[in-house]
Amino acid sequence: MLNKIHSTLVHQAPSLFRLPVKLMPASIQQTLMLETLKRVFREALDDGEFEFLEDRWLEVHVRDVNFKSYISFADDKLVVRSDVAESDVRFSGNLNDLILIAARKEDPDTLFFQRRLLIEGDTELGLEVKNLMDSVDLDSLPPMLRQGLFSLADFVQKGLQMPLDVNGVEHAHKI
């Protein structure tokens, strides 16, 4: 019974986040995204590793939550916007998959070949972004952020191990 509730919660979470994301002002969403990125990529920012994004735009699209954010680098700082004329590269995926990628519980290349992670546009720029993400030392994250990410990813991973069919029936599935 608890497994069914766990699985249902993980599968339904994106739909639960859709309304709050829609109602939250874009300025707050972008501020949260910017502050999170600054914490996660603190070392890379200090080392100047974001210069490849100068005058270029990365679009991050969480499809099942209908959230988009655009990231660039200007004047030695990350820039996050809710809209731009055109992005140079676009990463899109579903919330649960992106959580698993962030915690390194799922390989982005595997999800890419399964068409669960889409990378569109400038493939060279996309590869640079992917390599930068791979270079993040998760142990260097603030302890609360690191533990929160790992706990959330564990919860998602376990919940996805028992996918539900349209009738709400559990089926064994190894992730």
The mean pLDDT of 147-170, rounded to a whole number, is: 79
For residue 165, being part of any structural domain is answered with no
Give residue 121's region: left, alpha or beta (phi > 0; psi -120 to 50): left
The answer to whether 36 and 44 are in contact (CB under 8 A) is no
Tens of pLDDT along 54-80? Answer: 999 999 999 999 999 999 999 999 999
- The percentage of residues in the chain with a pLDDT greater than 70, rounded to a whole number, is 93
Position 33 pLDDT exceeds 70: yes
> CA 127 to CA 119: how far, in whole Å?
9
- Give the torsion through C-alpha atoms of 150, 155, 156, 160, to 10 deg: 140
Position 172 pLDDT exceeds 60: no
For residue 86, being part of any structural domain is answered with yes
Tens of pLDDT along 101-134? Answer: 999 999 988 998 999 999 999 999 999 999 899 8
Strands (E), the chain: 58-62, 67-74, 77-81, 89-93, 117-121
Please name which of 56, 128, 123, 68 lies closest in space to residue 98, comparing C-alpha atoms. 68
- Find where tokens 């060279």 sit: 124
Assigned token pair, 43:
């070392």
pTM above 0.75, yes or no: yes
For residue 80, being part of any structural domain is answered with yes
Determine the 3-state secondary structure of 24 from DSSP: coil
CATH number, position 66: 3.30.1050.10
> CA 61 to CA 149: how far, in whole Å?
19
Tens of pLDDT along 75-107? Answer: 999 999 999 989 999 999 999 999 999 999 999
**Whole domain around residue 95: which residue ranges?**
1-160
Please give the tally of structural domains in the chain: 1
Question: Mean pLDDT score of the chain, rounded to an integer?
Answer: 89
Work out the pLDDT band at 175, boundaries 50, 70, 90: very low
